[in-house]
Structure 1
Amino acid sequence: MTYDYDGNGGLLWKVVNGATTMYVQGIIHVGHKNFYPLAHAIEEAYDHANVILPEINVVKPEVNAEEINELALFREGMTLDKVLSPHSLKKLSDILEAKELSLETFRKYQPWYIESILGAFIREKSDLTPEYGVDLYFLKRALEDGKEIIELETVEDQYNVFSSYKLDTQVKMLEHTLQTYNQQADWINQLGHSWVHSNCSSSEKELINIVTNDLKRADEDYQKEMNDTRNIKMVQKLDEILQSESKQTYFVVVGSGHTLIDPSLPSELRDRGYNVERVY
């Protein structure tokens, strides 16, 4: 199916506390060249901002590969073949072999890490790429414009979330990805189309459905850690910034799920007493 990626983008909220202003934009971490420029209201919000607040700075991520590898490995004695069904192992082996990789190379890695590798393969087959991701779009400009960048999380924070899932949750996540592997590139395409046209109510509903289905692919623990807990921690930082009376303008750039699935950033800020205005 061919998708139209020429749209206006969407999902922008505004919070004001005294002379301090904060915009919250729900984005996707992949994108298409036809996305840009985004809607005027969004581009204007970025222009007004002194400080950009992404989940992580994907332009200059501080990655400790050794620590991440340590998190990704099973504890001694456990291997993938002990937790995945024979059917899933065969499917995984076939996918890896198509990439000229061997299952044996990855048998000591936990399911969450294997799923992250498959995610990269899936993105390669889709129309969208991280190169045109909306967070990267704004972060590159922020560096050129000399705007301050403050991360809401770190790479280690995110990997700690992934690695903290119970093994049963990890297995459900990986097996779902393996079972739906051939459909997932098109799901990414649908995500991009829905996001860039999310100023239309039907496309926003499609976007919410895609994000909701992704969060429900394992169990409640997955949604709680992937969305709910992270959102509450991020809002604590945003609340501190709003209360700091810095008189600056902030532009928050987070995945759409963090703005659409309650407890979301907008809903949590409202619960803390702020007037949260939907701008776009």
Structure 2
Amino acid sequence: MKLKKLSSLLLALIVMLSVFSATSYAAAQPSTTVLLDGKPIQLGEGSAEPFVDNGTTFVPMRSLFETLSIDLSWNNTTKTVSGAKGDLSFSLQIGSKTATVNGEKVTLTTAARIVHNVTFVPLRFVGQSTGYNVSWAQATHTISLTSPVVQAAAQSKGFMWKVEKNGNTVYLLGTIHVADKATYPLRPELEAAFKSADYLGVEVDLTQYTQEQIGAILDDLGTYKDGTTLKDHVSADTYKGVTAILKGLGAPENTLDKYEPWVVSLTIPSLMISDAGYQAELGIDQYLMQQALKSSKPIVQLETAEQQYGLFDNLSADLQESLLVDAIKAYNDPSSGEDQNAVDALLNMWKTGDETTLLTLTNAQQNVDHEYYQAFIADRNKGMTNKIEGFLNSTEHKTYFVAVGSLHMIGDDGIVTQLTKDGYTVEKQ
């Protein structure tokens, strides 16, 4: 796996720090997307564009049937649509909430209809009736249709462990904070463990922060208040690298002057990730938080946004500039797409549950910089482990689903490693 081109900072943002996604959390939700076996499909446009009514997604009948290779029959007299695929069949009537699947009557939430001479049918009903698994991800506004042949292969595995003590259960999920739409659905074991939990535990509960609050934290911790600017605190070459990126984006060269190097070093990778098609709002943590809100599951945070941004603010001046230099180099030198390939590889590692690669990446962090490793991994792992042990030793007899960056889980200072050393039995799930 070729990962040397990926800067240590960018790696940390993707798999370790929730605050990387915080600044985009309050952005508008993406429009509804339909995936077929992980790939986006177009089901009509203009007056024939899919729409949602009463929680049901409607799509143009003919476009859907052609895409799913469903045999279509239409009775114009009764306004009845019939479909068949293999040994599965169904029928529904325009304006009626009663339909049939393999001869059995079922009740629809909302009836099929004709709009502007286009027949629209409920996507979930048609998909499930012809053998597809249909899932809805609120966090990504994505409907996924998975064919029977690839259903098992399409589910992301991730990294999950289970610990029990005193009638309490903690599921530990190593996450990745940036993902794409093809990351979903997650494997059933992950979803079942999450559903069984009384609490969701995350690094930072981003649902409790607004865009304005995150901006205020950044302004408080990451701006100069003594009359100096970025130019006064980094080398001429480093500053020139920042202004060149801004100029290339059509932004004023002094746009980031008020910010300290660590803030700028966060800003540049966020542009890279966005350009590569990855989104922080699609990260596993974001998905779980949205699901928790939907089911009224309480969310507990192991850290705060102030603490995570404070990690950067407390770094030495030399390390802050080093991280900024890394970010500039990564932005300016895609080298045949190796940086994007590295992100692809990280996401593929998570989807396939490749623990060997995860351990290699975790161990490699010890060789980056002692100050960096101590601040971002070792010290944080101790704090999070203490809180997890608090869950396990409580008298509540509750189940917690704790989701934190994957790089925190294994290795010499990993949460799983520390729990094992402290006498807990940790089982891989």
Amino acid at match of 1:204: E
From 204, 208, 225, the equivalent of 1:56 is 204
From 168, 188, 195, the equivalent of 2:318 is 168
The 8 Å contact of residues 191 and 210 in structure 1, kept in 2 or not, is answered as no
From 191, 214, 219, the equivalent of 2:346 is 191
Residues 150-191 of structure 1, C-alpha deviations (whole Å, 9 max, x = no match): 111111111111111111111111111111224444332221
> Matches of 2:230 and 2:342 in 1, distance apart?
26
Please report the TM-score for the alignment, with normalisation by the length of structure 1. Answer: 0.88
> Matches of 2:206 and 2:175 in 1, distance apart?
14
Amino acid at match of 1:242: L
From 152, 157, 166, the equivalent of 2:302 is 152
Residues 119-155 of structure 1, C-alpha deviations (whole Å, 9 max, x = no match): 2111111232112110111111111111111111111
Structure 1 residue 117: Cα displacement = 0.8
The yes-or-no answer on 1:179 pairing with 2:336 is no
- CA gap 1:124/1:252 in 2 versus in 1, 3 angstroms: same
Structure 1 residue 214: Cα displacement = 6.0
Specify the structure having the higher radius of gyration (Cα).
Answer: 2
What is the aligned partner in structure 2 of residue 27 from structure 1? Answer: 175
Please report the TM-score for the alignment, with normalisation by the length of structure 2. Answer: 0.59
Structure 1 residue 216: Cα displacement = 4.8
Q: How does 1:125-274 map to 2 (within 5 A)?
A: 125-181=275-331, 182-183=333-334, 184-198=339-353, 203-210=354-361, 213=364, 216-217=367-368, 219-274=369-424
Amino acid at match of 2:193: A
Amino acid at match of 1:127: G
> Matches of 1:275 and 1:187 in 2, distance apart?
34
Amino acid at match of 1:278: K
Structure 1 residue 57: Cα displacement = 1.5
What is the aligned partner in structure 2 of residue 76 from structure 1? Answer: 226
The 8 Å contact of residues 126 and 186 in structure 1, kept in 2 or not, is answered as no
- CA gap 1:189/1:212 in 2 versus in 1, 3 angstroms: farther
> Matches of 1:87 and 1:162 in 2, distance apart?
22
What is the aligned partner in structure 1 of residue 151 from structure 2? Answer: none
SS in 1 for 2:288: helix
Structure 1 residue 210: Cα displacement = 4.4
In terms of fraction of residues, the more helix-rich structure is 1
Structure 1 residue 77: Cα displacement = 5.7
Structure 1 residue 80: Cα displacement = 2.8
SS in 2 for 1:105: coil
Amino acid at match of 2:208: K
The 8 Å contact of residues 166 and 393 in structure 2, kept in 1 or not, is answered as no
Superposed CA RMSD in Å reads 2.2
The yes-or-no answer on 1:39 pairing with 2:183 is no
The yes-or-no answer on 1:65 pairing with 2:215 is yes
Structure 1 residue 254: Cα displacement = 0.3
Please list every run of 5 or more consecutive structure 1 residues that lacks an aligned counterpart in the other structure. Answer: none
SS in 2 for 1:106: coil
SS in 2 for 1:22: strand
In terms of fraction of residues, the more strand-rich structure is 2
Please list every run of 5 or more consecutive structure 2 residues that lacks an aligned counterpart in the other structure. Answer: 1-36, 39-153
Amino acid at match of 1:104: N
The 8 Å contact of residues 196 and 399 in structure 2, kept in 1 or not, is answered as yes
Residue identity over aligned pairs, in percent, reads 28
The 8 Å contact of residues 177 and 405 in structure 2, kept in 1 or not, is answered as yes
The 8 Å contact of residues 162 and 426 in structure 2, kept in 1 or not, is answered as yes
Structure 1 residue 75: Cα displacement = 5.5
> Matches of 1:137 and 1:215 in 2, distance apart?
30
